[in-house]
Structure 1
Amino acid sequence: MKRFRNILVVSNPEGISEALIARAAWLAQANGAKLTLLDVSETDQSDLLRLLSTLSGTRAQEVNEDLLAARKDQLEQVARTLRDKGADVSTKLARGIGFIEVIRHVLIHGNDLVLKAADQTPAWSVLGGPDLHLLRKCPCPVWILNSMAEPSSRRIMAAVDPDPEDATRDALNNKVMQLATSLAVQDDAHVDVLNAWYLYDEHLLRSTRVHTPPEEVEALLLRTKQDSHGRLTALTDRYAEFADRMRVMHVKGIAADVIAQHAHEQRVDTLVMGTLGRTGLSGMFIGNTADTILSRVTCSVLAVKPEGFISPVTTEELDRP
């Protein structure tokens, strides 16, 4: 996985977990990468600000400074642990809205990966709002670790949708395959390469309203399946060296449903996927399929963007002091 050289590791309010530290240390060693540990003090903590305002004299300022110092000490403790493992590490404190400050740092400092533990709540089951914002809007790959993540993966899923005639999609699928197979080798894990296919409007073709003979529908189904399988084979043949740890799956169904169901049933712990939408446009949002998947899975997610992605945060945030 010699791809990431400038990695941003984002702290949660609870700090940086052992699993996140272990993954960051491995990435730094595997890539010869430098690490930046970032902790964002949220500016919209209205309850805390209201409580501090009730303190007499200069106590509010003193408590606030103590809190910032404590956060800095937490970062430095993690940094020392990573430096002891041979990593090149720096730390940074920021104030603002968490996901915006992360993206702002990426845009200014050119980070090529964001690594973060999933936001945790008492009822945590799927990715929360701030994590989804990062996955949707951050221009570089984002790796969100499940709250129960182990330091290494056991079962990985690469969700692909090959189309050799679409250069952007083809490049994105190859990124997904490269990352998933590299991670599988590093973690000695298995990877399921999953591609969903279906015949558009099959239910209408079979309805009495359209009057399509059953044999024509079956012929269309077969052609759709064969064409899709051919594109999948053309992609996975490039990664034949990983055949001993790779299972290729061609499943009929809507992609979001198939991927979410497979992740749940097979207990996938890391999903590697592309988030493909319109490119070259400020304010771009990821495709509906990717958005639906991200709102339904509970595993760790490593999401990569297509070339030409422009974050909607760019113009509205870079001019801020």
Structure 2
Amino acid sequence: MKMPEHILVVISGNRKKHEALERALKFAEYNDIHIHLFNAIYEPVLELTDVLSTEHREQMKEQHLADRRLYMNTLAEEISSQGIACSVRVEWHPHLHEIIEKVVKDLQPDLVIKRISAESMSINPFALPIDRHLIRYCKAPLLLVNQSEFSDSPILAAVDILTSDTDHMSLNKDILESAKLFSHLYLAPLYVVNAFITHTVSAGIDFPMLDMEQLNRNTESYHREKLSELLEKNHVETTPKQLHAVPGVPEVAIPQVVKQFNCQLVIMGSVGRKGLSGALLGNTAEAVLAELNCEVLCLKPHH
């Protein structure tokens, strides 16, 4: 991921503080950027055709849109007064994730920034929260934030060192490049994690010639070696303390590292699984988001 020049900021209603906008403005301290402010509104009551006439509904809808545009233009004028290019788009749409995906397709931004929704912790596979839906389908890099300021807490890059398919190999490179960028912007240390599955033996089965503890130690050493090779290949400098090969599935192992080192941002990839498998199994990035209490930058493969 390169330094973003065109940033789509999703504005969450009429609020006193917009964390996503504050974060976008931070990029303006390092680069000339264009901020696209976007907001979607929808009032279900205006769909009550038995109560309101078509003309009345349209008048009320236009009034809602006019009020929101006025507010958004006020934000844009303040941004423009700082010498930052800014544009505004307001849409009437019942499904926020769908209209965000449409705007992303129209504008082709380098980065989308959105405040983390309270519902992102939901694990109901049949009621996919907005943030997890965007992780799966948003075509642009997606930064989900919960605060407006950077801190000096670590940036964590989550990679998959054993992957052999083109999409994941490309993601590893993009994740590490993005991690170096954000580490520089945040003036924060860069940590890297790779989760791996340990060997187990079913209860009641005895293999006297097999030392499981030694086997798992060898497995960890192998993953640390491969992780070091990946970092060297991508010119990432780390100390042993910043390099973590952790046993377990990613959705458990990654949050453990986040909590252990109080990481402020996790950078990971998502190869948006779709269809029934996506509905029932979800994606690793989605599962990790449900367990995290930090910000997330989610990247997609280039096609």
User: TM-score per shorter chain, which class?
Assistant: 0.7 to 0.9
State the partner residue of 2:70: 73
SS of the residue aligned with 1:215? coil
Residue correspondence of structure 1 range 228-307 to structure 2 within 5 A:
228-238=223-233, 242-243=237-238, 247-276=242-271, 285=278, 288-307=283-302
CA positional deviation for 1:60: 5.1
Given that 1:126 and 1:298 are in contact with CA atoms closer than 8 Å, whether structure 2 keeps it comes out as no
**Which amino acid is 1:160 matched to?**
V
Deviation at 1:273?
A: 0.9
Distance, in Å, in 2 between the alignment partners of 1:191 and 1:199 is 25
Q: Is the 8 A contact 2:152 2:187 kept in 1?
A: yes
Show the counterpart of 2:92: 95
Find the counterpart in structure 2 of residue 19 from structure 1: 19
Letter in 2 for 1:150: S
Structure 1, unaligned runs of 5 or more: 309-321
**How big is the shift at 1:54?**
5.5
> 2: CA distance between counterparts of 1:32 and 1:68?
30
| Counterpart code for 2:101 | I
Q: 1:244 to 1:101 in 2, by over 3 A?
A: same
Contact 1:5 1:32 in 2 (8 A): yes
Q: 1:240–1:247: structure 2 CA closer, same or farther, 3 Å change rule?
A: farther
Deviation at 1:307, TM superposition (A): 2.4
**Contact 2:255/2:292, CA 8 A, preserved across alignment:** yes
- 1:216-270 CA deviation, whole Å, 9 max, x = no partner? 4345324422321122101222466654798222222222111122323433221
Kindly indicate whether residue 127 of structure 2 is the aligned counterpart of residue 131 of structure 1. Answer: no
* Contact residue 28 and residue 35 of structure 1 kept, 8 A: no
Query: Residue 204 of structure 2 aligns to which amino acid in structure 1?
Result: T
Letter in 2 for 1:208: G
Q: Are residues 297 and 32 of structure 1, via their aligned partners in 2, closer, same or farther at CA, if it must alter by over 3 Å?
A: same
Whichever residue aligns with residue 258 of structure 1, its letter is A
Counterpart Cα distance in 2 of 1:245 and 1:113: 31
Cα gap change, 1:57/1:125 in structure 2, threshold over 3 Å: closer, same or farther?
closer
Report the equivalent of 1:182: 181
Letter in 2 for 1:303: C
Matched residues in 2 for 1:293 and 1:57: separation? Answer: 45
Q: 1:10 aligned to 2:10?
A: yes
Displacement of 1:172:
0.8
Report the CA distance shift for 1:57/1:259 in structure 2 as closer, same or farther (over 3 A): closer
Counterparts of 1:208 and 1:76 in 2: how far apart (Å)? 69
Change (3 A) 1:214 1:251: farther
Distance 1:47 1:269 in 2: 40
Paired residues of 1:158 and 1:271 also in contact (CA < 8 A): yes
Contact 1:40 1:98 in 2 (8 A): yes
How far did 1:284 drift? Answer: 8.9
Q: TM-score, with normalisation over the residues of structure 1? A: 0.78
Relative to structure 1, is the Cα distance of residues 292 and 299 closer, same or farther in structure 2, using a 3 angstrom cutoff?
same
Unaligned runs of 5+ in 2: none
After TM superposition, give the deviation of residue 191 of structure 1 in Å: 2.7
Work out whether 1:208 is the aligned partner of 2:204. Answer: yes
CA root-mean-square deviation = 3.3
Match runs of 1:77-226 below 5 Å? 77-96=74-93, 97-120=95-118, 129-146=129-146, 149-155=147-153, 156-163=155-162, 165-200=164-199, 202-204=200-202, 207-209=203-205, 211-213=206-208, 215-226=210-221
Give 3-state SS (helix, strand or coil) of 2:221's partner. Answer: helix
- Distance apart, 1:133 and its partner CA: 0.8
Three-state SS of the structure 2 residue aligned to 1:196 is strand
Equivalent-residue separation in structure 1 for 2:156 and 2:276 (angstroms) = 29
Alignment partner, residue 317 of structure 1 = none
Give the equivalent residue in structure 2 for 1:312: none
Deviations 1:187-222 (A, max 9, x none): 21223212222325x143xx333x333634345324
Is the partner of 2:30 in helix, strand or coil? helix
Residues 129, 46 of structure 1: alpha-carbon distance in 2 compared, 3 angstrom cutoff: same
Moved more, 189-198 or 218-227: 218-227
Residues 115 and 142 in structure 1, CA contact (< 8 A), matched pair in contact too: yes
Q: Give distance in 1, aligned partners of 2:286 and 2:63.
A: 39
Change (3 A) 1:65 1:245: farther
Cα separation, partners in 2 of 1:242 and 1:89, compared to 1, 3 Å: farther
Question: Cα distance 1:283–1:37, how it changes in 2: closer, same or farther (>3 A)?
Answer: farther
